[in-house]
Structure 1
Amino acid sequence: MVDAYELFAELPKAELHLHIEGSFEPELMFEIARRNQVSIPYASVEELRKAYDFGNLQDFLDIYYQGMSVLLRERDFYDLTWAYLTRVNEDNVRHVEIFFDPQGHTERGVSFETAIIGIHRALEDGKAKLGISYKLIMSYLRHLSEESALETLEQAKPFLDWIDGVGLDSSEMGHPPSKFKTVFAESKKLGLKLVAHAGEEGPPAYVYEALDDIQVDRIDHGNRALEDDGLVKRIVEGGYTLTVCPLSNLKLCGVTDMKDHPLPKMLELGLRATVNSDDPAYFGGYVNQNFKAVHDAQPLSAADAVTLAKNSFSGSFLSAQEKASWLGLIDEQAAEMGATA
């Protein structure tokens, strides 16, 4: 019988929840800091890695924004994105839908144009050289005002051909989705897909707001939706995808033990859950490692592995034809390896 982890690792998959700034490995951070002559408060890569010990989401965000400070030039954003693509290529990730945080750069004097040109150029090279297709999602920072988000949307307008959707991230508590109702409505008018972090730290009410007030197409995280049976039913019946990030949940104490992670329960309930890495440099694992962390604690079946791989494409913003092609390929490869969903 095929091992579920070996199967998942071999199958093509998409990653739908990845913050490109959160893929900043310490070695590259030090390299770019030296190149740009930016001082960071760590003497070595090892010391920086030790700092990646968070008690909660805010502790993580403090270091996350500090690391972001070394990104100043188009080349820096290219190198960051290219490093991520080459790494996930090893995990057989064939499609990515990545977030970037323009306000985290424009607030410190780096232009929107500088960030997006570097990221886009790397994504295009990843498509041409690695065969990894992509969608780019611009995230609004929820700890900032909606006015700031609206300004960011204006800055994005010259680049809308490169942007496929908008998201909502950063500190969840105290910043409900309804705070951004106007900017999401404006984004939707421009033809952009809508996603939002909801139910990571925030209550089920935030997930309801994501669905009702900003009318998301997809829910990022969504773990706490399981606390409300009516909400689970609505998500299942609505066909919404949850972009789940197990190692992130563990590192940020959303769960204290992987044996308690809700991913298996989500599959049991019929939710379209997917496995993603969120901020892999900080949380200690890319897509395959996130699957393995759950599987080691709560053994998943080969059928679960196939379902999760298929969910990653079904929940993507690819065309119906592209999705069907990937789903067919997964079925073929799973059959060859002796597994079916």
Structure 2
Amino acid sequence: MDLEHFVCSLPKAELHVHIEGTLEPEMMFELARRNGVALPWKSVEETRAAYAFTDLQSFLDLYYAGAAALIHERDFFELALAYFERAHADGVVHAELFFDPQTHTARGVAFATVVDGLERACAEAQVRWGISSRLILCFLRHLSEDEGFATLEQALPQLARIHGVGLDSSERGHPPAKFARLFARCRELGLHIVAHAGEEGPPAYIVDALDVLKVERIDHGVRCAEDPALVERLVREQVALTVCPLSNVKLCVFPDLAQHNLKRLLEAGLKVTINSDDPAYFGGYIARNFIDTARALGLSRAQLKRIARNSLEASFVPESLRTPWLLRLDAMPA
């Protein structure tokens, strides 16, 4: 079995994908035309040419501009269904979708419109491809905690359809502790807790996310390697890191994949997973992240199986769902 086929055959969970970041330029232009939205670019080609990011913020500026094309429930449904079709081809059996309601409500799109479209796609993906899914509401960290509370208030009528909350957007200058009260309230509501930390921000942000927000997973987390005591803690507590290799290169966290620290983290005993982050912008969905990383770092098939197992074990699903996936995984040759 060649590497591509092996990777796509691995049952895996995607735990770090922003659904707005799966908006391919072709769909962006189609939705913009349908909805009468003016984009900053004249063509799909010009849009792709703009994908030369120097850091996280340069990407976010483009990301928010493209999201303006998403207005109606149908738009969010079509966006998510297109992602699920790709995820199925890549061997994803479970996906936990991040979505950014503040990006849309700030433009006058109703919170329920976003969730209605995404949830309908989740249901359709279960029927068509047997993919299980969860929705994770992400708060934008460049905004205030009070604005986060206002978003949470909007979310309350939809809470039965939302599985967890996260923290994303500009990391520098916005430590997790900025949102301590908001995440305490989310924990009281019984929501799962995750947060982006240690991508551009320092290892101290990872510690903050663990101790102040009390997260169950760290999104990115690659800068933990700068703090040996933190690495020891993450290994001891088996906190999953949802690493996004192609994203890390595209946003200049690492100069190239060959210098990524994923393999070192894995061999140190950390619960590393591989994910696509914003695949429309960063050059590949989850299988491409697995394949390119394996080739660049010389990952063995046993290590790829370990990474897939980590993703299934770290997913927010009951054992009744997880066990059959793990049995399938274990039956695959290494």
User: Is 1:300 matched up with 2:302?
Assistant: no
Q: Give the corresponding residue for 1:168.
A: 167
* 1:230-262 Cα deviation digits (max 9, x unpaired): 101111111210000000000000000211111
Deviations 1:305-329 (A, max 9, x none): 1101111100100112322221111
Name the stretch that deviates more: 135-144 or 108-117.
Answer: 108-117
TM-score, normalised by the number of residues in structure 1: 0.96
Deviation string, structure 1 residues 205-243 (Cα, Å, up to 9, x no partner): 000000001100110000001111110111111121000
Partner of 2:189: 190
Tell me which residue corresponds to 1:106.
105
Q: Displaced runs of 4+ in structure 1, greater than 3 A?
A: 2-6
The letter for the 2-side match of 1:183 is L
How many aligned residue pairs are there?
Answer: 334
Q: Give CA deviations for 1:147-174 in whole Å, capped at 9, x if unaligned.
A: 0000111110111111000000000000
SS across alignment from 2:33: helix
Contact 1:277 1:285 in 2 (8 A): yes
**5+ residue gaps, structure 1:** none
CA deviations on 1:119-159 (whole Å, 9 max, x unpaired) are 11111111111111001100000000000000111110111
Equivalent pair of 1:176/1:206 in contact (CA under 8 Å): yes
Alignment partners' CA distance in 2, 1:32 and 1:107? 19
Residue 82 (str. 1) matches residue 92 (str. 2): no
Task: Name the counterpart of 1:324.
Answer: 323
d(CA) in 1 for partners of 2:322, 2:70: 34
User: CA separation in 2, counterparts of 1:91 and 1:105?
Assistant: 29
Shift of 1:81: 0.6
Whether 2:238 is the aligned partner of 1:239: answer: yes
Match of 2:55? 56
Give the counterpart letter for 1:140 in structure 2: F
Matches within 5 A, 1:131-210: 131-210=130-209
- How many angstroms apart in 2 are the aligned matches of 1:161 and 1:92? 28
Give the aligned partner of residue 39 of structure 2: 40
Counterpart CA distance in 1 for 2:202 and 2:181 is: 22
Q: Is the 2:199–2:221 contact (alpha carbons within 8 Å) kept by the matching residues of 1?
A: yes
How far 1:193 moved relative to its partner?
Answer: 0.2
Separation of aligned partners in 2, 1:296 and 1:284: 16
Question: In the alignment, what sits opposite 2:265?
Answer: 266
CA contact (8 A) 1:21 1:68 kept: yes
Segments of 5+ residues of structure 2 without an aligned counterpart are none
Tell me the TM-score normalized by structure 2: 0.98
Residue 99 of structure 1 and its aligned partner are, at CA, apart by: 0.2
Q: Say if 2:194 and 2:217, in contact at 8 Å, map to a contact too.
A: yes
* Alpha-carbon distance between aligned partners in 2 of 1:171 and 1:292, rounded to the nearest angstrom: 28
Contact 1:75–1:118 under 8 Å retained in 2: yes
> Contact 1:11–1:92 at 8 Å: present in 2 too?
yes
Equivalent position of 2:225 in the other structure: 226
- In 2, Cα distance between the equivalents of 1:6 and 1:74? 35
1:15-30 correspondence runs (5 A): 15-30=14-29
Percent identity over paired residues: 54
Mapped partners of 2:225, 2:314: distance in 1: 19
Could you report, residue by residue, the CA deviation over 1:278-311 in whole angstroms, capped at 9, with x for unpaired residues?
Answer: 0000001000101122122111101101101111
Aligned residues: CA RMSD: 1.0
CA distance in 1, matches of 2:233, 2:3: 29
Measured in 2, the distance between the counterparts of 1:129 and 1:323 equals: 19
2: CA distance between counterparts of 1:84 and 1:171?
24
- 3-state SS, counterpart of residue 213 of structure 1: helix
